[in-house]
Structure 1
Amino acid sequence: MCSKLQALSSRIKQASSNGKWREVLCCYSEIQTSGTQLSDPFLFPIVFKACAKLSWLSQGRCIHASLYKRGFESFVSVGNSIADLYMKCGDLCSATRSFDSMTWRDSVSWNVVVFGFLDHGFEEEGLRWFSKSRVWGFEPNVSTLVLVIHALRCLRFHVDGKKMHSYVIRTGFCGVSSVQNSILSLYAECDLMSARKLFDEMSERDVISWSVVIKSYAQSQEPVRGLKLLKEMVREGKTEPDSVTVTNVLKGCAVLEDVDVGRSVHGFSIRKGFVLGDVFVRNSLIDMYSKGFDVDSAFRVFDETTCRNIVSWNSILAGFVHNQRYEEAVKMFGLMSKDAVEADDVTLVSLLQVCKFFEQPLPCKSVHCVMIRHGYESNEVALSSLIDAYTSCSLVDDARTVFESMTYKDVVSCSTMISGLARSGRPDEAISIFCQMKDKPNAITLVNLLDACSVSADLRKSKWAHGIAIRRGLATADISVDTSIVDAYAKCGAIEMARRAFDLVPSRNVVSWTGMISAYAINGLPERALASFEEMKREGYTPNAVTYLAILSACNHGGLIKQGLMIFKSMVEDHNKKPSLQHYSCLVDMLSRAGEIDTAMELIKNLPEDMKPGVSTWGSILSGCRNRLKSRIVTTEAISEVLELEPLCSSGYLLASSVFAAEKSWEDVASMRRLVKEKKVRVVAGYSTVLEGTMSRRFLAGEKLNQSDCELNNVVQSLRRCLTLENTMEWI
């Protein structure tokens, strides 16, 4: 019997050395069934290790119970293996109980517990146990130390990370490459200078060391320095860069939209052979070219990729969306379906951006159905994109339903809902969403709130939003918030308050100056808009395309034709800016308002070949024809173009009808009305909104009020009070 026990014990040791864990447990079971008992305590750690490797927790519990009765648990090696079994199988409570019941503990005991907590993602608990082990004077092993440093990095305990670096130096672990790389990764996230200093002091640098520092430069928006380091790595010749190193540089180029540096890295990748078989490098190249606005190069990389995955498809799809080539994005999705690649949440977000651009409600709802079928209803990013798409497609109530169904409404979803409601002319609901927010608002939230206040044209609400921005420390700290404050005051008619808010902006830029010029323009102060435009140029800011559009709009509505033409000429000749269709449309409208219909028509005929006049351009001609009777040929051409471009929009028919009425051509007026009925065009009437107290009253053109004379009289009296208050304010 004794010889059989020895033979089985030898088999257990042999199976353990060969990694045959099932055989280990089979031999142990055979010993148990034979009626004999293992007397060698050093075999039990092997048995428990086999249970841990196979994740057989219940068998391990049974063996633990049998050992507890026989007193073998008092051996340190056995106690360590029991705690390790429970840790590896995820039973952390049993592991800590086993640790606490141990009579004697060594460094292995502490390492098992610390490593177990950290390995299961309980960073704070693992660090607490590590501190306890240091108090008792036990030293960590390399694996535990690497996990401790990783935990400090995850929790962003950067000060403790520096203390750990000192400990590593004192204990002599600084010569271990894995520990050095862990410290390097920690510094790379919080202190790039210290990371570079440590990197330069390292005697042995492997590919991980190089990749960590290159990645830190990429994330710090210094991809050129990352590229220089890559060149230094190649020149040194001791360590060959791998695909991870190249991917890190490409990510930096994508962040900075730096295609030139990205092309250099692409060429290097081809020479090293990374592009041929590494899908991660190819996906990074697609992303880099897409974000650098060279989507054609991105597509060439994608087209040459034979080992495509879902990330490849998502990258090129997002690339077309990012470059506003939405029709090609739709075609790519069609190809994706043909290749039987199943869309994920990232794909759906890109498709929602396409639906938002085309403003097509049906495809938007189709994407929503796919989201429900694939269980993406809890994906906050996808739901926020869906809300944004619904509001853009005029499905505000559907967007609200999605928003209300969300279990947790984060700052992104709330900001998106506020923006959508503001765009849809429902500012009171947008402000109500803001008041119900649980998370702290960020700059984007405040910008959307201020947009809602500007839509409501309520000065008190704009002041309230301004106050929130000040309390949150975002006023005068974020340029987008500052510009929105100016815009909100301007749209409430409080131009002097808008100017005071603008003067408080510490670091103005072109956007803030453009906002101020627009503020003067919409309040009918073209002279002050021109003065601000000149002041902006004197302070050294170069106007961009939006600035020119704002100042041209000011000249247009102020009737400053000569100044407007001079500014347009300066834009093209002095600043070498290429006018867009909006600039030309503004110029056509300005000439049409001044009665220069022939000049405006000549401008339309001489537009660049890549531009086609839109409905607003022809509408300006038509409005000019109504105000100043012109030849029937011009009028007919303008009406034809407007109705062809927007056949289902009522404004074109109404404008054409008013032109014919001005000419006293009643037969043509009747013809326009027949067309509206035949094509079933929905006529949208204009309205005026008057704020009385906290209530806003809407007066719709042509509306028949089904109210008693008393109620109607109250409405008229309310309107008179509002007008009296407005006139009084002008004298103050």
Structure 2
Amino acid sequence: MTSKFSSILRNCNPRTVFTHAKQTHVQILIHGLNHDITLQTDLLLAYSKGLLLNARKVFDRMRERNMHSWNIIISAYVQNSMYHDGLNVFIELLDSGMKPDHYSLPPLLKACAGTNDGVGSLGVVLHGMVVKLGFESYVVVASSVLDYYSKCGKLKDAKMVFEGLLWKDTVSWNSMALGLAKAGMHFEALDCFRNMLENRSAKMDSMTIPTLLNVCGKLGDVIKGKEIHGQVLKNAFFCNDIVIGNSLIDFYSRSGCLCDAEKVFFGMKDKNLVTWTTMISSYGVHGKGEEALTLFQKMKDLGFKPNSVTLTAILASCSHSGLIDQGRKIFKSIRSLYDFEPSVEHYACVVDLLSRFGCFDEALRLINGMNMVPPASVWGALLAGSLVHRNIKVGEMAAYRLFKLEPNNASNYVALCSIYDYRGMWRDASKVKSKMRMLGLGKTPGCSWILIGGEMCTFYQGDFNLDFGTNTTENIKGVVRALHLVLSEKNTFHLNKEETNRATQ
């Protein structure tokens, strides 16, 4: 009887846990087997796949808890992003006199990273436990330590752990590259991937490609991104991966290749809510508000319910395209249709939309009616609209709020200066500039970049000291001709050395 119940529970999956697990639990109680530690552990495992509250009740009622039961409940909490609950169970584990094993530590390290344990207090303690308990040689445990340091931005520690790994698998390489990418070290991240591909013990997988595409998108390296897309098309497994498809849409959108993003989107067999949201956001960024609204409606017609991120994407699309009536309607429907409160991002989008149209009274009423303290993003949207319409009164109000919230953000001072300059209020502008000098703030110049001959060339506003040879004037003209050649090619931002030489002659 015990083995039969155990077999049913162990074969439960998320779809059958609601029926099979509950029915088996009833039979266990009827037969008086509710204190059998094996059945209790199996029941705990089954409930952890979909009924976490039931799992916790079983765990709390267990007279005896083996290490397996502790690991199950910790892992269940972490898998459901309930990081604090998982860490609290770990504290209970230590209080009981037991020590974590090599199965406990990976989810605990993930929980530390998920709680933004940037200072590394608990994460470093866990790393110490790994060393003390002799788990450094376990690949999964060592990779979890590396992943923790990478996600917390502690790259120095991450590199030390990475270099000390006896065996570097794909997960380890991905963690190191992801940490570099998150820190803005994009070229170093690409070098890491190149080294990974040269390492025979690791291969590109479905976790590698999204990170690579994200790096290429931030660098504007369309050619490299298309090469990765080519590798995806050669692999049937990658072609059907939704996460990779979503990453391709985002990459092409970031790179200005909206047509390619559309091709990927409409060519995907399976789409999830993230897919629809990414494409809606892509339309919005490129000023295609009507297309974004059409896609939003089609998504709802197919049974997808928008979440907070989706609504932010469609509201931002309305703002970028000046669709004020549609934006108002969607914002008002957040409570009535989707049954949750508007977030800070939703308010910021609508304030931006109203401010762009000069509807400052309506924007201020919306801000004053917020059920939270208006953050910098909301006042920033109001200041941006004030700059467009040169509205001194509203601009000053928004700017002085921002000076308190973001005292070291130079762009807020610059925006207010621009309003004063346009209105001829030189004395007020001078006071703001003096305050900037006193705070040691400077305006960050506008920056653009382009790949020429495989090298990244950066251009700053007002910078004419471009080191492309001896004759500065001629070389600037050559660069301009090269830029014209690049822009004349649709969706191309790369020139090889031969084309560059020809363009600059």
When normalised by structure 2's length, the TM-score is: 0.81
Report what 2:481 is aligned to: 720
* Partner Cα distance (2:8, 2:311) in 1: 44
AA partner of residue 536 (structure 1): M
Q: Is the aligned partner of 1:667 residue 2:433? A: no
Q: Is the aligned partner of 1:626 residue 2:414? A: no
Report what 1:513 is aligned to: 276
Q: Is the aligned partner of 1:409 residue 2:168? A: yes
Report what 2:500 is aligned to: none
Change (3 A) 1:706 1:307: closer
* Partner Cα distance (1:306, 1:446) in 2: 39
Q: 2:225 aligns with which of 462, 476, 479?
A: 462
SS in 2 for 1:443: coil
* Partner Cα distance (1:530, 1:219) in 2: 35
Report what 1:244 is aligned to: 38
The answer as to whether partners of 1:352 and 1:367 remain within 8 angstroms in 2 is no
After superposition, what is the alpha-carbon deviation per residue over 1:107-162, rounded to whole angstroms, capped at 9, x for unaligned? Answer: xxxxxxxxxxxxxxxxxxxxxxxxxxxxxxxxxxxxxxxxxxxxxxxxxxxxxxxx
Report what 2:377 is aligned to: 616
SS in 1 for 2:287: coil
Report what 2:404 is aligned to: 644
The answer as to whether partners of 1:368 and 1:386 remain within 8 angstroms in 2 is no
Change (3 A) 1:682 1:283: farther
The structural deviation recorded for 1:672 is 3.1
SS in 1 for 2:48: helix
Report what 2:364 is aligned to: 601
SS in 2 for 1:705: coil
* Partner Cα distance (1:296, 1:369) in 2: 18
* Partner Cα distance (1:531, 1:647) in 2: 41
Report what 1:431 is aligned to: 190
Q: 2:177 aligns with which of 394, 405, 418?
A: 418
After superposition, what is the alpha-carbon deviation per residue over 1:299-349, rounded to whole angstroms, capped at 9, x for unaligned? Answer: 99889889534669999xx9xxxxxxxxxxxxxxxxxxxxxxxxx776555
Name the structure with the higher helix share.
1
Tell me which structure has the larger Cα radius of gyration: 1
Report what 2:496 is aligned to: none
The structural deviation recorded for 1:646 is 2.0
Q: Alpha carbon RMSD of aligned pairs, Å?
A: 3.9
AA partner of residue 669 (structure 1): A
After superposition, what is the alpha-carbon deviation per residue over 1:29-80, rounded to whole angstroms, capped at 9, x for unaligned? Answer: xxxxxxxxxxxxxxxxxxxxxxxxxxxxxxxxxxxxxxxxxxxxxxxxxxxx
The structural deviation recorded for 1:290 is 6.8
* Partner Cα distance (1:543, 1:723) in 2: 42
Change (3 A) 1:457 1:639: same
Report what 2:52 is aligned to: 259
Report what 2:502 is aligned to: none
* Partner Cα distance (2:16, 2:149) in 1: 31
Change (3 A) 1:637 1:436: same
Q: Is the aligned partner of 1:701 residue 2:489? A: no
Q: Is the aligned partner of 1:538 residue 2:298? A: no
* Partner Cα distance (1:484, 1:509) in 2: 13
SS in 1 for 2:471: helix
Q: Structure 2 regions of 5+ residues with no counterpart?
A: 493-505
After superposition, what is the alpha-carbon deviation per residue over 1:194-243, rounded to whole angstroms, capped at 9, x for unaligned? Answer: xxxxxxxxxxx4x4554354233268873641332232233234x55423
Change (3 A) 1:599 1:455: same
The answer as to whether partners of 1:588 and 1:603 remain within 8 angstroms in 2 is yes
Report what 1:235 is aligned to: 30
Equivalent positions of 1:215-614 (< 5 A) are 215-217=10-12, 222=17, 224-237=19-32, 239=33, 241-256=35-50, 258-262=51-55, 265=58, 270=61, 274-275=62-63, 278=65, 307-309=95-97, 350-355=111-116, 379-390=142-153, 399=158, 403-404=162-163, 406-437=165-196, 438=199, 439-608=202-371, 611-614=372-375
* Partner Cα distance (2:108, 2:126) in 1: 12
AA partner of residue 451 (structure 2): L
* Partner Cα distance (1:711, 1:372) in 2: 58
AA partner of residue 415 (structure 1): N
**Paired positions, count:** 481
* Partner Cα distance (2:164, 2:460) in 1: 34
SS in 2 for 1:464: helix
Change (3 A) 1:287 1:466: closer
When normalised by structure 1's length, the TM-score is: 0.58
| Identity fraction in percent | 27
After superposition, what is the alpha-carbon deviation per residue over 1:433-463, rounded to whole angstroms, capped at 9, x for unaligned? Answer: 2222231222111111111121122222221
After superposition, what is the alpha-carbon deviation per residue over 1:163-215, rounded to whole angstroms, capped at 9, x for unaligned? Answer: xxxxxxxxxxxxxxxxxxxxxxxxxxxxxxxxxxxxxxxxxx4x455435423
* Partner Cα distance (2:410, 2:71) in 1: 47
Q: Which moved more, 1:570-579 or 1:284-293?
A: 284-293
SS in 2 for 1:637: helix
Which structure would you say has the larger RCO, counting Cα contacts within 8 Å and 6 or more residues apart? Answer: 2
